[in-house]
Amino acid sequence: MKTKKIFALIISGTLLQLSAFAQNDIQISNFMFFGQTYNPAFAGYARSINATLLAREQWTGFKQAPSTQLLNFVFPAKNIGNFGLSIINDKLGFEKSINMRVVYAYPFALSDNSFISAGVCAGFINRTLEGSKLVYEDKSISDPNGIYTNTSEFLPTIDMGILYYDQNLTLGASSTHLTKSASKATFYDASRHYYIFGSYKIPLNETVDIVPSLYFKNSKFISQFEVNANLMFGDKLWAGLSYRWKESIVGLFGIKIMKSFKIGYSYDFNIGDVKPYSYGSHEIFISYSPEISKSSIYYKSPRLFN
């Protein structure tokens, strides 16, 4: 009962904060493999059809804990750029949201092995809240910011991003929810977010590389910083560690199980306030990218999942 009460306080506090201000984008531990989620320019370096499905269960051990499912799809169209689709289903307590966006990105060659990709995506967010199930600390006072009935709303969203990449270095910057400024954001209309991503491949020998990466996101109400290092054994296997600032340490592992399939898993070890009450967070994904002939490739890409 004690843990349930503690979790109820965490969720209630989160929801009250969101209702007073705005919603934040999802959190995923395999951010280095899901760049299209926060930067549409990542779709520009795909050289074949690629579909990736992810499921995340956060703070296991709590009832109504955060749960996220994500699908990214990209299709290269020769000479005119790449098209894609991104769908996010997210749940936190009594709040649910579906974010569906279409993606377009185009890569510009700077040299034989270096490119700049520019991307944009547009779609909608459907956010619902079971306000009738919320319990407020002081029931005798009617909070003007409170939500007391079940509500649902559809709102547009637009994201933009740019990406530089070559055989070793990747640098990207992007912004999501450009239709809404942070100062005018509401519970239903997500606050504008800003993202920076960088990674660099360091060859250790002919078959093993180490790839450190940095990931930063910011909205008006919160900033988050993560650092990661993955050890890559060719195209067959990888393992790594991440540190999410003052929140968790993440272990990652992945393997190529067939010619066109890869599967990855990560586990978050909590080190923040939730540590005594949660069993951590689990995340698993599977990626499908069919083999293609060299004649169909119209530009090169060093990326792992393309």
The pLDDT tens digits of the residues spanning 145-187 come to: 667 777 888 999 999 999 999 999 999 999 999 987 666 666 6
What global pTM score does this model have?
0.84
The more confidently predicted of residues 7 and 118 is: 118
Measured CA to CA, the distance from residue 13 to residue 35 in angstroms comes to: 30
The pLDDT tens digits of the residues spanning 100-150 come to: 999 999 999 999 889 999 999 999 999 998 776 667 666 656 666 667 777
Is residue 16 pLDDT above 50, yes or no? Answer: no
Of 27, 24, 4, nearest to 15 by C-alpha is 24
Mean pLDDT over 12-40 rounds to 72
pLDDT of the residue at 74: 96
Is residue 20 pLDDT above 70, yes or no? Answer: no
The pLDDT tens digits of the residues spanning 260-272 come to: 999 999 999 999 7
The pLDDT tens digits of the residues spanning 174-232 come to: 999 998 766 666 666 678 899 999 999 999 999 999 999 999 999 877 889 999 999 99
Is residue 297 pLDDT above 50, yes or no? Answer: no
Structure tokens at 288: 């499908």
CB 123, CB 103: distance < 8 Å: no
Structure tokens at 148: 């007391």
Residue 122 is which amino acid?
Answer: A
Measured CA to CA, the distance from residue 301 to residue 234 in angstroms comes to: 15
Most confident of 10-24, 174-188, 289-303: 174-188
226 half-sphere exposure, CB direction, 13 A CA radius = 25
The more confidently predicted of residues 305 and 107 is: 107
pLDDT of the residue at 301: 45
pLDDT of the residue at 137: 66
pLDDT of the residue at 295: 44
Regarding the domain delimited by 2-296, which CATH topology (the fold level of the hierarchy) does it fall under? Answer: Porin (2.40.160)
Binned at pLDDT 50, 70 and 90, residue 23 comes out as low
Query: Could you tell me if residue 81 is left (phi over 0), alpha (psi between -120 and 50 degrees) or otherwise beta?
Result: left
Binned at pLDDT 50, 70 and 90, residue 292 comes out as low
The pLDDT tens digits of the residues spanning 240-253 come to: 999 999 899 999 99
Residue 191 per-residue DSSP state: P
Residue with tokens 């393992």: 239
Mean pLDDT over 43-62 rounds to 91
CA dihedral 254, 248, 229, 29 (to 10 degrees): 50
